[in-house]
A and B are shown apart, each in its own frame.
Chain A
Amino acid sequence: MRQDAVLAVFTLGLLLGGTVSALALWSLSGLASPLPPPARTPVILAAAAAGVARELGVLSLPLPQNARQIPQEVLHVHLWRGVLQFGFELGTGVRTYVPSSAPYFLALALLLARAPLTAAVLTGAAFGAGRALSAALTYLARDPARAAAVAARIPHIRVIAVSASLAAFSLLFM
């Protein structure tokens, strides 16, 4: 089986999964409508600041993640459908480990910010694309040391992710 074809189907699953989650959050965002924007913005930014503090190790904050891995059996029944399902479940961000603060902050922002539908759809797809980017780089680099490089760098990447989100939303909302 061609690895690039597997990666393409996996990526499609990730894009779909991210989009579905973002749409679900956007649909629920109407529940936040009684809150005036001046009340919502500080909550979003405070959550991002808490995420930065958590990633820096200053704040101990357990994440409400689904602490399980997607069972490998999904790949055994029907390979293509399994790869798609595997990508979809990873893309939703609710079916497996999510050890970074950034996706939680993003979910809260989608829930509270009343973003336009286009923004929500593209944000969800981009979330899936971000996950796919790592897999694509692993495939393209063909470097057995990449997994160790990712493990060493990921704490810094998580700090950057949530810090940049805080900075960007501060600029956008204030």
Chain B
Amino acid sequence: MRTLTARRGLADPFPPAAALALLAVAAAALEASILCWASIGALAGYALSGSV
């Protein structure tokens, strides 16, 4: 049951986008520029979900 719930959680595409967005903004606020760039890169790639 717990496994099924975890898998359902993985099926929602929204949380990773929210987490990456928060990471990008937090990294910028902390002047961690390389982490900020990488987070924005990951976010741009993730924004193409479902597109091939």
| A residues apposed to B, CB below 8 Å | 14, 18, 22, 69-70, 90, 93, 96-100, 102-103, 105-106, 109, 115-116, 118-120, 122-134, 137, 140-143, 145-147, 149-151, 153-154, 156-158, 160-165, 167-172
Interface centre among A22, A105, A120, A168 (most CB of B within 10 A): A168
- Which single member of A116, A126, A131, A137 contacts B10 (CB below 8 Å)? A137
Closest chain B CB from A126 CB (angstroms):
4
Q: When A127-B45, A169-B40 are in contact, do A133 and B16 touch as well, CB less than 8 Å?
A: yes
A residues less than 8 Å from B7 (CB atoms) = 140-143
Interface size class of B (residues with CB under 8 A): 35 or more
Shortest Cβ-Cβ A-B pairs, 4 listed: A130-B45, A164-B21, A126-B41, A123-B41
Residue among B17, B25, B27, B34 making CB contact with A118, cutoff 8 Å: B34
Q: Is B18 in contact with A160, judged by CB distance below 8 angstroms?
A: yes
Contacts of B48 in A (CB 8 A): 93, 98-100, 103, 130-131, 134
| A168 & B13 in contact (Cβ 8 Å cutoff) | no
B9 to chain A, nearest CB (A): 8
Q: Once the chains are docked, how many angstroms separate the CA of A155 from the CA of B41?
A: 18
